[in-house]
């Protein structure tokens, strides 16, 4: 089974981008964390990042077409603006876990609303990059439970 881990705009600069908010780990480090977490549960991880909204929509559609076991998505700033990403996520059956590195509720008012949450099975924010690992562990637990 495959889990798609999708990252939105500016996350390519993780590690140097506002480190006091997002920490010092790079996106490569996050990819490694996700691959290790995936491996632990027997998942293949498709790890991607784009600064472009339409690219993220294409990848969400691809995840559905490939019958991904789950989608972990940090839509970054598109969280707060993108009906297109919401609509793409709503078309699939696999659980979507929305991840934010920072606690979006403790920051600017405009970060407190997420379009994407409407399509999310769960939302993780404020755990730093460890949130990605928690999301993958969570999908694994969810699948176990659904098997009874």
* Interacting span for ligand DQA (CB under 6 A) from 35-43, 47-55, 72-80, 135-143: 72-80
- Within 8 A by CB and 6+ apart from 42, the residues are 1
Q: Tell me how far, at minimum, the Cβ of 86 lies from ligand DQA, in Å.
A: 15
* 114 near ligand DQA (CB under 6 A): no
**87 assigned to a ligand binding site:** yes
Distances (CA, A) of 3 to 16, 44, 74, 97, 121: 27, 6, 14, 11, 15
- Residue 77: is it exposed, middle or buried by C-beta count within 10 angstroms (0-12/13-18/19+)? middle
**50 assigned to a ligand binding site:** no
CB atoms < 10 A from the CB of 1, how many? 15
* 77 near ligand DQA (CB under 6 A): yes
Q: How many Å is the Cα radius of gyration of the chain? A: 14
Q: Nearer Cβ to ligand DQA, position 16 or 145?
A: 16
* 101 near ligand DQA (CB under 6 A): yes
Is residue 4 annotated as part of the catalytic site, yes or no?
no
- Nearest residue to the partner ligand DQA, using Cβ: 76
CB atoms < 10 A from the CB of 102, how many? 17
Q: Nearer Cβ to ligand DQA, position 49 or 79?
A: 79
List active site positions: 22, 100
Q: Which residues are annotated as a binding site?
A: 74, 80, 87, 101-102, 111
Residues found near ligand DQA in the complex (CB under 6 A): 10, 74, 76-77, 79, 100-102, 104, 111
């Amino acid at each position: 089974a495959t889990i798609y881990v999708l990252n939105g705009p500016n996350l390519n600069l993780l590690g140097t981008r506002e480190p006091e908010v997002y920490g010092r780990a790079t996106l490569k480090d996050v990819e490694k964390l996700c691959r290790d977490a995936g491996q632990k549960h027997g998942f293949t991880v498709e790890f991607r990042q784009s600064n472009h909204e339409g690219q993220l929509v294409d990848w969400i559609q691809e995840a559905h077409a490939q019958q991904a076991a789950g989608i972990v998505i940090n839509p970054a700033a598109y969280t707060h603006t993108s009906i297109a990403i919401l609509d793409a996520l709503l078309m699939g059956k696999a659980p979507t876990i929305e991840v934010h590195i920072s606690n979006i509720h403790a920051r600017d008012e405009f970060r407190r609303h997420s379009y994407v949450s409407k399509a999310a099975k769960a939302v993780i924010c404020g755990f730093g990059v460890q949130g990605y690992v928690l999301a993958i562990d969570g999908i694994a637990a969810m699948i176990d439970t659904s098997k009874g």
